Amino acid sequence: MKRTNLIKATLVAGLAGAALSTGSAAAQEAPAFDFAVETVSLQTTRDVARVYARLSDEAASYCGSLIQQGYETTGALSLCQSDVVDVVVQRIGDAQLSRYHDQVQSRSARPYATALN
């Protein structure tokens, strides 16, 4: 089983760089995000989609709890979720999961791209 443990400070370095660089106590004490996946769970496209959906759900729950505990602001929710998923996918290092993640990101960016034209 591949287990990915991530500390919140690692996840939101891009979001809250100023707070982290000043050594903010809240950023340093935030709970870790823990996600476990078995390699066999990434064999088929359906399995990858299922794991990705679970990761997205757990990231949303984790980021929501950071807001409730005062570690993040409500405005940072979507950025937090995105950072959590990005880092976990990268750390798992599975090619199929990475491709699926890229596809999901590209699909979700398209509606905004057309609005900018």
Does residue 7 surpass a pLDDT of 80? no
Give the chain's mean pLDDT. 76
Global pTM reads: 0.71
What are 3's two structure tokens?
């287990």
Percentage, residues of the chain above pLDDT 90: 34
Q: State the CB neighbour count (10 A cutoff) for residue 10.
A: 15
Q: What is the pLDDT of residues 48-99, one digit of tens each?
A: 999 999 999 999 999 999 888 887 777 888 888 999 999 999 999 999 999 9
Contacts of 71 (CB under 8 A, 6+ apart): 8, 26, 27, 29, 30
